[in-house]
């Protein structure tokens, strides 16, 4: 009963903070909500006995990536960005992109869901080792979602470059 309550709490906070990250108008507030999100995701990894993933979540995401997000937020001229009208002529392209993204996410979820259940018992994981098992599973069973994530990160990098170039031209 206690484990279900803890899992429910962590899941609820992760969902709520995810929504808060996206819906806040102030970008700094969004980054702070993202910090809370990353900490709760790390706690969820600890709850699932994935200590390595929890440590990586804190070190890489809550540490390095959050600092990177803050630098990007501080580099952008947000007052000027708020004055520019948005969602005017490119919404059909956005709708097409969102539909494509949902299709890719659906295929990714289908790949993840069809995996065999309960083959990774605690004894099996302890025998092989956490890190070895993460690498083995990541590059075999979950190769497609891993590659999709690589493309999403590449798009984010290109978007940051486009925003930075736009600011230099102004």
Neighbours of 41 (CB within 10 A): 21
d(CA 103, CA 83): 33
The answer as to whether 13 is a domain residue is yes
CB 41 within 8 Å of CB 29: no
Q: In the prediction, which pLDDT does 18 show?
A: 93
Domain housing 6: 1-84
Q: In the prediction, which pLDDT does 123 show?
A: 82
Domain CATH code at residue 68: 1.20.120.1200
What is the tens place of the pLDDT at every residue in 88-108?
Answer: 677 788 889 989 988 888 887
Q: Among 37, 69, 84, where does a domain finish? A: 84
The answer as to whether 111 is a domain residue is no
pLDDT range class, residue 166, cuts 50, 70, 90: low
Q: In the prediction, which pLDDT does 14 show?
A: 95
Return mean pLDDT, the chain. Answer: 82
Poorest-pLDDT segment among 10-14, 60-64, 145-149 = 60-64
Q: Do 74 and 134 reside in the same domain of the chain?
A: no
Q: Do 80 and 132 reside in the same domain of the chain?
A: no
Q: Percent of the chain at pLDDT above 90?
A: 21
Q: Do 1 and 78 reside in the same domain of the chain?
A: yes
Q: In the prediction, which pLDDT does 141 show?
A: 83
Q: Do 80 and 120 reside in the same domain of the chain?
A: no
Three-state SS sequence of the chain? CHHHHHHHHHHHHHHHHHHHHHHCCCHHHHHHHHHHHHHHHHHHHHHCCCHHHHHHHHHHHHHHHHHHHHHHHHHCCHHHHHHCCCCCCCHHHHHHHHHHHHHHHHHHHHHHHCCCCCCCCHHHHHHHCHHHHHHHHHCCCCHHHHHHHHHHHHHHHHHHHHHHHHHHHC
Q: In the prediction, which pLDDT does 85 show?
A: 67
Q: Do 17 and 61 reside in the same domain of the chain?
A: yes
Poorest-pLDDT segment among 113-117, 125-129, 136-140 = 113-117
Tokens 């978007």 -> residue: 159
d(CA 102, CA 148): 12
Q: Among 66, 84, 102, where does a domain finish? A: 84
pLDDT range class, residue 82, cuts 50, 70, 90: low
Phi, psi of 139 (to 5 degrees): -95, 5
Total domains in the chain come to 2
Average pLDDT over residues 54-73: 82
Task: Count how many Cα atoms sit within 13 Å of the Cα of residue 150 in the half-sphere of its side chain.
Answer: 8
pLDDT range class, residue 159, cuts 50, 70, 90: confident
pLDDT at 64 > cutoff 70: yes
């Amino acid at each position: 009963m206690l484990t279900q309550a803890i899992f429910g709490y962590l899941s609820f906070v992760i969902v709520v903070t995810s929504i808060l990250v996206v819906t806040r108008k102030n970008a700094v507030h969004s980054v702070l909500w993202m910090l809370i999100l990353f900490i709760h995701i790390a706690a969820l990894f600890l709850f699932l006995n994935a200590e390595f993933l929890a440590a990586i979540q804190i070190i890489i995401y809550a540490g390095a990536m959050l600092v990177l997000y803050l630098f990007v937020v501080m580099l952008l001229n947000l007052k000027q960005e708020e004055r520019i009208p948005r969602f005017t002529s490119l919404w059909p392209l956005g709708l097409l992109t969102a539909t494509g993204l949902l299709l890719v996410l659906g295929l990714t979820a289908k790949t993840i869901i069809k995996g065999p259940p309960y083959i990774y018992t605690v004894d099996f994981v302890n025998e092989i080792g956490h890190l070895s098992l993460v690498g083995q599973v990541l590059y075999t069973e979950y190769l497609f979602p891993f590659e999709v994530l690589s493309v999403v990160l590449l798009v984010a990098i290109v978007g940051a470059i486009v925003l930075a170039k736009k600011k230099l031209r102004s």
